[in-house]
Structure 1
Amino acid sequence: MMSQSKEARPPMILRRRTNNHLPDEIVLEILARLPVKSVLRFRCVCKSWYSYITHPNFISTHLNHNHHHHHHDYVIHRPKSKSVSYHPPSRSNLQVCTLAFDRTFETISEFRIPFTFQSGYPRLVGSCNGILCFTDCVTSKSKDVYLWNPSIRKFKRLPDTCLTQLRTLVLGFGYDSQSNDYKVVRISQTRVKDVLAREVEVYSLSSDSWKRVGLGISWTPSAFSFSFNGILAFPFVSGHLHWMIEMTEEGGGQERRFTSMILSFDVNSEKFKELPLPDDEGSFIVTKCVTSFKGKLALIKFGFGVQPHSMLCSIWVMKEYGVLDSWNKLCVLPVDAFIDFTGFTNYGILLIQNMPRLVSTNCELERKYKSVLIDPETLHENEISIQVNYHLDVATYMESLALLDGANVVFH
């Protein structure tokens, strides 16, 4: 995936060998297996070590080793920017990301977001190879986008887009494995003579610039409104970014029909396509969203249950990417009518937060959340104690050296 190129090999670390020195290849193997903090310290050994460690090939090799030999057992969680909770988070809380173990959500450490937005409410776009992507929650007023690697304490503000008059609808963040590049996708729109015009831009970290790309697919002509379902962060799966689009179409007469589609973007080829939805003649669906489950594309459907005020959550997994017949219903979970579906960890554990309930504490009634980890394959539940009283954004995370060699990167 991220192999070293033969054309641009970094300089060798050791120029002279004695009987006390290990071969260069062994030293480089050792460095590639070390934690990020140790590698950063070894930059101070000598100029040749610094040159090698900051070289893009070594950064890719180190990341590739982490992918294959280490568990992705970290998860970042933070308050959602726009919360409907009874106790909305303060701006100071919104500036903090919590690093926790994947299986237990036991807190390891906290990172304070080192940049601010016009609205004061940062929104997590996604996480990829240790880089977190943030934008302003009020995206129609601010087009600021930041890439941040907390493990090396570096961040980068993306250059301004040329489409200043368009309202941003949605963004996505992914990794181009063919060119070892990170890309941000922005879909925007404007209204021209009562007609909605949509534009797509792609930012490349390697070129540090935006460019326009064609959508390449036609929207349903009868659709007069549509929205991107952003219950969860838009997933990056099998080299593609995904968005759930829900449309309202005009039928014959005054009839209206509600349809959905999964919009997929190939980060390598920069092409869009529509992915099929599974056929499901179940209960009435209230809403649905796309996410990832153990590295595969997953679809979550929320519908009414048989009992009054009850809901069912059905989880579908696409076993073979892009193949309609490979959609498989993993399970159906009974859930409360009002929950916050937070998402899956890398181990496939589902985190759900129920709406706050009245709890007696020191003779006083307080509203508190109940957070539950659910294994959708065994249906085993485990209540956890996340010390927050509002909704969360969750993203999988791993330490990496990404952004270490980037231009216009700020250390904090």
Structure 2
Amino acid sequence: MSQSKEARPPMVLRRRTNNHLPDEIVLEILARLPVKPVLRFRCVCKSWYSYITNPNFISTHLNHNHHHDDYVIHKPKLFPYHPSSRSNLQVCTLAFDRTFETISEFRIPFNFPSGYPGLVGSCNGILCFTDFITSKPKDVYLWNPSIRKFKRLPNTCLTQVSNVALGFGYDSQNNDYKVVRISLSTAKRPKPDVEVYSLSSDSWKRVGLGISWRPNVISYGFNGILAFPFVSGHLHWMIEMIEEGGGQERRYTSMILSFDVNSEKFKELPLPDDEGSFIVTKCVSSFKGKLALIKFGSGLRPHSIWVMKEYGVLDSWNKLYVVPVDGFIGFSGFTNYGIFLIQIMPRLVSTNCELERKYKSVLIDPETLHENEISIQVNYHLDVATYMESLALLDGANVVSY
């Protein structure tokens, strides 16, 4: 009996050895699993660890899981009328895209000198942050909360820090992530200075603007109401300018500056010809994967939304009218489904025989104008970005785990 028992293990081992799945099948299965189990499977054996940390596998896993879950990540941002404590500013909340129901919270694992982290953008599960207020060259971090890793970027080439805007996008041709930093000069007839960071090379480089600059511009600035969007492989900045005319005349103009992340070339995109008499300002965003232009009326209410159906084509701008919302105080951005989040002026609510003011957050479909109040209560604006779990940054150099 004892000899029989001792003889069984080799037989079982032989069966398992003979029935091993081919490596190609194992990789295909791993590539379709969520992030958390894949991370655990790194401990199975050295070959699996090598598979999972390989850049090609990370890219394949991203392609397989790109549309499995749609999330929104948001955090409070500095707002002068309703300042939040610094501890609140260090927390990001992950929520379902359609309902904004909270899933989990992540504490930002790095700090800035000012204590005010600003969200630059979100791409394939990586969040890009910079210092919101500082007098020194701005620190920039890339962070993947789902794998608990972040990376501080090296110092930038440019020393000019006034009127700086950043963008974050993915170079699909080279499987690379890039941060673009534009610094506007304060000199008369300024022209932007541009530098680009590449994650694959872990370095910054200077890039020429490559387009003719308007000769009569005497001052200009970025409209940063929302994060500068990454759409159709391009980053976009809304620049509002003052141009001098004949004599003492001056006029206010705007332009959309577009940057192709793959080719690293700039171009100016056309604006729809519909200013309207009540337009105060405008900014660019992403609406259902298309470039959107939001025009704000008095009180910074969304006056109209324009969507560019065919990228780069003037005639493809399509207008979606937005009915002004009573008590509107803040617009935070769009989700993947084209729903946008706004904050409503506080209303008086009876609590324990006392009256107190309570803010309301609402999701609105700009096509149907259907409103849906959500449970989060905020008295500040939010930095909002679409989000997905991924393995990006898993194989990177100089990446910090926490």
Determine if the TM-score, normalized by the shorter chain, exceeds 0.5. Answer: yes
Which residue number corresponds to residue 219 of structure 2? 225
- Range with greater deviation from structure 2 (183-192 or 232-241): 183-192
3-state SS of paired residue (1:167):
coil
1:114 lines up with 2:109 in the alignment: yes
After the TM superposition, which residues 176-255 of structure 1 pair with which residues of structure 2 at under 5 Å, given as runs?
Answer: 176-191=171-186, 194=188, 196=190, 198-255=192-249
If each structure's helix is expressed as a fraction of its own residues, which one has the higher value? 2
Task: Assess if the C-alpha contact under 8 Å between 2:165 and 2:182 holds in 1.
Answer: yes
Gaps of 5+ in 1: 1-15
Structure 1 counterpart of 2:330, one-letter code: D
Using the aligned pairs only, state the percent identity: 85
- Range with greater deviation from structure 2 (348-357 or 243-252): 348-357
Give the Å deviation of 1:268. Answer: 0.3
1:271 lines up with 2:235 in the alignment: no
Structure 2 counterpart of 1:303, one-letter code: G
Match of 2:304 among 276, 300, 314: 314
Which residue number corresponds to residue 29 of structure 1? 28
Q: CA distance change for structure 1 residues 389 and 227 in 2, over 3 Å: closer, same or farther?
A: same
Which residue number corresponds to residue 10 of structure 1? none
Task: Assess if the C-alpha contact under 8 Å between 1:143 and 1:168 holds in 2.
Answer: no
Task: Assess if the C-alpha contact under 8 Å between 1:140 and 1:168 holds in 2.
Answer: no
Which residue number corresponds to residue 343 of structure 2? 353
Task: Assess if the C-alpha contact under 8 Å between 2:359 and 2:379 holds in 1.
Answer: yes
After the TM superposition, which residues 49-88 of structure 1 pair with which residues of structure 2 at under 5 Å, given as runs?
Answer: 49-68=48-67, 70-71=68-69, 73-80=70-77, 82-86=78-82, 88=83
Cα distance between partner residues in 2 of 1:269 and 1:261 = 21
3-state SS of paired residue (2:297):
strand
Task: Assess if the C-alpha contact under 8 Å between 2:113 and 2:134 holds in 1.
Answer: no
Give the Å deviation of 1:387. Answer: 3.0
Cα distance between partner residues in 2 of 1:251 and 1:321 = 32
Task: Assess if the C-alpha contact under 8 Å between 1:33 and 1:62 holds in 2.
Answer: yes
Which residue number corresponds to residue 359 of structure 2? 369
Task: Assess if the C-alpha contact under 8 Å between 2:167 and 2:179 holds in 1.
Answer: yes
1:301 lines up with 2:288 in the alignment: no
Cα distance between partner residues in 1 of 2:94 and 2:113 = 25
Cα distance between partner residues in 2 of 1:106 and 1:233 = 22
Cα distance between partner residues in 2 of 1:221 and 1:333 = 38
Task: Assess if the C-alpha contact under 8 Å between 1:311 and 1:337 holds in 2.
Answer: no
- Range with greater deviation from structure 2 (101-110 or 335-344): 335-344
Cα distance between partner residues in 1 of 2:284 and 2:327 = 20
Give the Å deviation of 1:281. Answer: 5.2
Match of 2:95 among 85, 96, 100: 100
CA-based RMSD of the aligned residues comes to 1.9
Give the Å deviation of 1:277. Answer: 0.5
Give the Å deviation of 1:315. Answer: 0.9
Structure 1 counterpart of 2:372, one-letter code: N
3-state SS of paired residue (1:254):
coil
Q: CA distance change for structure 1 residues 148 and 237 in 2, over 3 Å: closer, same or farther?
A: same
1:139-183 superposed Cα distances (whole Å, 9 cap, x missing partner): 543410000000000000000112224435100000000000000
Give the Å deviation of 1:201. Answer: 0.4
1:173-228 superposed Cα distances (whole Å, 9 cap, x missing partner): 00000000000000113445x56453100000000000000011233222211111
Cα distance between partner residues in 2 of 1:337 and 1:247 = 30
1:290-345 superposed Cα distances (whole Å, 9 cap, x missing partner): 000110001111125xxxx7955211110000000000012322234752111110
3-state SS of paired residue (1:394):
strand
Larger radius of gyration: 2
TM-score by length of 1: 0.90
Cα distance between partner residues in 1 of 2:209 and 2:300 = 39
TM-score by length of 2: 0.92
- Range with greater deviation from structure 2 (379-388 or 101-110): 379-388
Count of residues in Structure 1 that have an aligned counterpart in Structure 2: 388
Gaps of 5+ in 2: 1-14
Structure 1 counterpart of 2:47, one-letter code: S
Task: Assess if the C-alpha contact under 8 Å between 2:364 and 2:371 holds in 1.
Answer: yes
1:405 lines up with 2:402 in the alignment: no
Match of 1:157 among 144, 147, 152: 152
Task: Assess if the C-alpha contact under 8 Å between 2:307 and 2:318 holds in 1.
Answer: yes
Please list every run of at least 4 consecutive aligned residues from structure 1 whose deviation after the TM superposition is greater than 6 angstroms: none
3-state SS of paired residue (1:333):
coil
